Amino acid sequence: MSLLIKNVQILGGETKFPDRADLFVVGDRISAIGNFTEKKAKRVIDGQGAYLAPGFIDVNTDSDHYLSVFDNPSQDDFLRQGVTTIIGGHCGSSLAPLLYGGLESIQKWADTRKAIVNWHTMGEFLAFLDRKPLAVNFLTLVGHSTIRRAMIGEQLRNLTQNELIVFGETLRRALAEGGAGLSTGLAYVHSRGTPYSEIKFLAGIAKERNGVYSTHLRTSGADLGGAIDETVRIASETGITTLISHFMPLVGAEKEYEAALELLGGLPREVNLRFDLYPFETSVLPLYAFLPLWVQNGGADVMVSNIEDGWMRERIMKDFVPINPKNFVIAHAVGNPALHGLSLVDLMEHYSVADYKSALMRLMLSTKLRASIFYKNINTDLIRKGITHPRSFVSSNSASLLESRKFEQPERASKTFTRFLELVVSENIMPLEDAIRKITAEPAQAFRLKNRGSIREGNIADLVCFRDIEVKATVVNGEVAFENGVFQKKFSGKALRYYGN
Q: What is the pLDDT of residues 178-215, one digit of tens each?
A: 999 999 999 998 899 999 999 999 999 999 999 999 99
| 295-313 per-position pLDDT tens digit | 987 778 889 999 999 999 9
Instruction: Convert the pLDDT of each residue in 334-370 to its tens digit.
Output: 888 899 999 999 999 999 999 999 999 999 999 999 9
Q: Tell me the pLDDT band of 111, cut-offs 50, 70 and 90.
A: confident
What pLDDT shows up at residue 90?
98
DSSP 443-457: HHHHTT-TT-SSB-T
Residues 6 or more apart whose CB falls under 8 angstroms from that of 269 comprise: none
Averaged pLDDT for residues 442-460: 97
Task: Report the run of H or E that residue 303 belongs to, with start and end.
Answer: helix 300-308
Class of domain 2-54+453-487: mainly beta
Cα 458 from Cα 453, distance rounded (Å): 12
Sequence ranges of the domains in the chain = 2-54+453-487, 56-281+378-446, 286-375
Query: What is residue 439's predicted lDDT score, i.e. its pLDDT?
Result: 98
Question: Do the domains spanning 2-54+453-487 and 56-281+378-446 agree at the CATH topology level?
Answer: no
| pLDDT exceeds 90 at position 16 | no
Strand duo 463-467 + 51-54: pairing:
antiparallel
The residue-averaged pLDDT of 80-105 equals: 95
For residue 224, pLDDT over 90 is answered with yes
Q: Whole-prediction pTM value?
A: 0.96
Which one-letter amino acid corresponds to residue 18? Answer: P
Phi-psi region of 340 (alpha: psi -120 to 50; beta: other; left: phi over 0): beta
pLDDT at position 26 over 90: yes
Confidence check: pLDDT of 220 > 70: yes
501 band by pLDDT with thresholds 50, 70 and 90: low
pLDDT in the model for residue 481: 98
Supply the pLDDT for residue 37. 84
Query: In this model, does residue 100 exceed pLDDT 80?
Result: yes
For 56-281+378-446, the fitting CATH number among 3.40.190.10, 3.30.1950.10, 3.20.20.140, 1.10.340.30 is: 3.20.20.140
- Average pLDDT taken over every residue of the chain: 95
Q: What is the DSSP letter of 320?
A: P
Total Cβ atoms within 10 A of residue 83: 30
> Helix, strand, coil shares of the chain as percentages rounded to 5?
35, 20, 40
Summarize the confidence of residues 111-131 as an average pLDDT: 92
